[in-house]
Amino acid sequence: MGQDAFMEPFSGKVGSVQCKIFLLLLGVCSGLKVTVPSHTVHGIRGQALYLPVHYGFHTPASDIQIIWLFERPHTMPKYLLGSVNRSVVPDLEYQHKFTMMPPNASLLINPLQFTDEGNYIVKVNIQGNGTLSASQKIQVTVDDLITKPVVQIHPSSGAVEYVGNVTLTCQVAAGTRLAYHWLKNGKPVRTSATYSFSLQNNTFHIAPVTKEDIGNYSCLVENPVSEMESDIVTPTIYYGPYGLQVNSDKGLKVGEVFTVDLGEAILFDCSADSYPPNTYSWIGMTDNTTYFIKHGPRLEVASEKVAQKTTDYVCCAYNNITGRQDETHFTVIITSMGLERFAQKEKSLSPLASITGISLFLIISMCLLFLWKKYQPYKVIKQKLESRPETEYKKAQTFSGHEDALDDFGIYEFVAFPDASGVPRMPSRSVRGSEGVSGQDLHSTIYEVIQHIPAQQLDHPE
């Protein structure tokens, strides 16, 4: 029962700490605490609203008094009801509306009306060894439940991409304090270059529409007591044609050229993305004459009927709502049976041949690159040898090396130099440039030659 209220004394420690804080702040120690779970309570009109209140104290009490007041902005606070111990004294004006069961301080408002919106103040007084007093304030809002919103699309007939605009209007039959949100494919819609909203957000304007605006839209309406989402609407947006292409059931397609066996019928399928579906038309071109063939996305070419070996075709896709069209040209080559066999042979051969060719080319390229890389240093050395006066070169031959740190410079690059395959070629190449220097000498004195590269670099500034 209500006795619970009395069974909630605060522990002495907490109470004394709170007491000190209160003493410091207010100069009064109540030892009584009144709490409410929420300082704002949203109520639904016509239903009962319960305002829960808890209180506790740690002193012996003789009388417990509870008072409820109601205040609205710019009006005098009104007394609703009060109690001492277990006897309730209501304001006679509201005696059927407000209920309290002391010592339980919670208040029941039934039924709730818009006029009940405001602040409710509860004051608890404890009479014991002196009087303790505490109060709390609860803000109450009153709203109607929202009914399911309905979205209307304008224009209902649809809009042409880049030309037309679409306006979605969200309508709700009942509900107060409505907040409108728009969802596209379940995700919130944000203001953008083409999206705008009315002040209340209940209308959503797309200007101009594009193909990307096609989607599932819904309106979500919420208020403090409810939330409702409309059915999904899909505005009609006319677009296209986009991505026109022609495919065939058989035949070989190479770029815009189809190769067909003589005597074989081939079916071409023309397709493009558009709304509403395109109307397709086929046009043939032989020599300089252009002729209309048929309407529809499919064209069958029976090769026997084709007089020419090569015919150009055009597929036109036209969207009669957007007024836009696109066309694609392609060529059909009819090959005779004999030729075809030969061509097939070639066809079957040619991939192998090309693969072999490419492989060979790659292998040769790799070899050449390898050789080039391998002999590049020789070339450098050769050039350096050639550019060097013979006397200096000879001097170099007698140079003993390792006298100076610079001598080690670049040596490691050329460690692999005197190998069996590379050496024999060397003399023949360098004979002319390094006159009088024998191949053998060169072979045995590579180290000295290289040693001089840094020295020569040092010579340059002179």
| Interacting residue ranges for ligand NAG, rule: CB under 6 A | 2, 4-5, 54, 60, 62-63, 84-85, 104, 106, 129, 164-165, 179, 181, 185, 188-191, 197, 201, 207-208, 215-216, 232, 276-277, 279, 287-288, 320
Q: In this complex, which beta carbon is closest to ligand NAG, that of residue 188 or of residue 255?
A: 188
In three-state secondary structure terms, 6 is helix
Q: In this complex, which beta carbon is closest to ligand NAG, that of residue 95 or of residue 359?
A: 95
- What b/e string do you get for 28-63 counting C-beta neighbours within 10 Å, with b at 16 or more? ebbbbbbebeeeebbbbbeeebebebbbbbbeebee
In three-state secondary structure terms, 46 is coil
Find the shortest distance in angstroms from Cβ 250 to ligand NAG: 28
Find the shortest distance in angstroms from Cβ 60 to ligand NAG: 6
Find the shortest distance in angstroms from Cβ 118 to ligand NAG: 22
Which residues on neighbouring strands pair with residue 187, listed in sequence order?
184
Radius of gyration over alpha carbons of the chain, in Å? 49
Q: In this complex, which beta carbon is closest to ligand NAG, that of residue 88 or of residue 423?
A: 88
* CA nearest neighbour of 80 among 102, 54, 65, 98: 98
For residue 191, give the H/E element and its range.
Answer: none
Q: In this complex, which beta carbon is closest to ligand NAG, that of residue 4 or of residue 386?
A: 4
Q: In this complex, which beta carbon is closest to ligand NAG, that of residue 44 or of residue 285?
A: 285
Q: In this complex, which beta carbon is closest to ligand NAG, that of residue 128 or of residue 410?
A: 128
For residue 84, give the H/E element and its range.
Answer: strand 78-84
Find the shortest distance in angstroms from Cβ 116 to ligand NAG: 18
The residue behind tokens 């609203």 is: 49
In three-state secondary structure terms, 20 is helix
Find the shortest distance in angstroms from Cβ 361 to ligand NAG: 42
Find the shortest distance in angstroms from Cβ 56 to ligand NAG: 9
Find the shortest distance in angstroms from Cβ 189 to ligand NAG: 6
Q: In this complex, which beta carbon is closest to ligand NAG, that of residue 105 or of residue 301?
A: 105
Question: Which distant-in-sequence residues (6+ apart) come within 8 Å of 248 by Cβ?
Answer: 258, 266, 267, 268, 269
In three-state secondary structure terms, 428 is helix
